[in-house]
Amino acid sequence: MQSLATIDIIIALAKTFIIILPGYIVTKLGILNSQHTAGMSALITCVTYPCLVIDAMQMEFSMQVLNNCKYVVLIFFGAVICALIVSKIVTMIVKLPPERAGIFAFMLVFGNTGFIGLPVLNGLLGSEAVFYGALCDSSYDIFMFTIGITLIRNGASDHDMKLGETLKGLINPCLIGVLIGLTLYIFGITLPEVIASPVERIGAITSPLAMMVVGSHLARVRIRDLFASGHAYLVCLMKLIVFPLIALAIVKLTIGTGTLLASVIVLQAAMPVAMLSVIFSERYKGDVSFASTGVMLTTLMCILTIPLHAILLQHI
């Protein structure tokens, strides 16, 4: 990880997270509603996020960088397996009710590596970090639409997940953006300026849009409900503290620390619970209230924990 002073880390993250405030304020004022944010989310997913990824991958080809891609997938696979084992142990100790056990495991494993992860990486570490961060996010997507959905369904309902539904979830604009970006990168294809410039400008609005969406969601949660669930605090502890440390241990044992790749993997593991946990809970009749609380509480608390992990990476 590039050498940054503690104050630089805090300032860089503050520049990203402070954009949450406009989304929060305009939602409280009634200017922004759930339909608006749904449209903004669709715009990010289908347009700006793919452009951000493609633009980040428009750099000079390096075999070392390409070789690092396999480590991203393998290390994240290992982290997912470890998190599943830990979640199973914690579920048995805490004796979570069956309808919460699956969603608890999902929230522990899958983080918001796209909407929050990429803006944080871009602000803190730059475009090459976005390259690796997008691979982390795509790896998560593959596990999320297979293992993740199964976790929620097992404790939620008897809904049979069809192969077509899984494939439809996997083949999405975000993954397509990664595949396009990787293809251009591997073959050394540089987009002409007339295309590259619009792609860059469209991708650049991903961070502010995503953060305002997060702020809008936070504005709709009652503070009393947010801090009322003991199980949600457990999600915070595991997702924001324990799981990133597990990822750090895996990184240290495999590729070692002190590199950009290592920092990206650990920081992506430190992201708050994925918003898809709420969508999947609604879809498969899971505990939507628990999922919503977990998402919002971890999103709020990560403003404090992500700087701690970034600072830790400077001293190991």
| pTM greater than the 0.85 cutoff | no
Fold of the domain spanning 6-309: Na+/H+ antiporter like fold (1.20.1530)
- Cα distance between residue 95 and residue 55, in whole Å: 46
Tokens of 130: 């976005």
CA torsion, ordered 182, 199, 169, 265, to nearest 10 deg: 60
pLDDT at position 157, please?
52
Q: Quote the pLDDT of residue 196.
A: 94
For 96, phi then psi, to 5°, come to: -65, 145
Alpha helices in 157-287 (DSSP H): 163-170, 173-186, 193-204, 206-219, 223-226, 230-237, 243-254, 260-269, 276-283
Percent of the chain topping pLDDT 90: 14
Cα distances from 259 to residues 137, 264, 284, in angstroms, run: 19, 9, 40
pLDDT in 10s for each residue of the chain, 316 residues: 555 556 777 777 777 778 889 989 999 999 988 888 888 888 887 888 889 888 878 878 888 877 888 888 788 778 778 877 887 888 788 877 777 788 888 888 888 888 788 888 888 888 888 888 888 887 777 777 677 777 777 655 555 556 566 566 567 787 788 889 888 988 889 999 999 999 999 988 887 887 788 788 778 877 776 676 678 888 999 999 998 998 899 888 888 888 888 899 999 999 999 877 876 776 677 777 788 788 888 988 888 899 899 888 887 7
Enumerate residues 6+ apart whose C-beta is below 8 A from 28.
Answer: 219
Give which of 41, 42, 16, 32 is closest to 118, Cα–Cα: 16
| Strand partners for 273 | 111
Residue 20 CA, distance from chain mean position: 16
User: At 103, which amino acid appears?
Assistant: I
**Tokens 């709709």, residue located:** 220
Cβ neighbour number for residue 232 with a 10 Å cutoff: 25
Q: What is the rounded distance in angstroms from the CA atom of residue 22 to the CA atom of residue 207? A: 13
Backbone angles phi, psi at 273, to 5 degrees: -55, 140
Task: Say what percent of the chain tops pLDDT 70.
Answer: 90
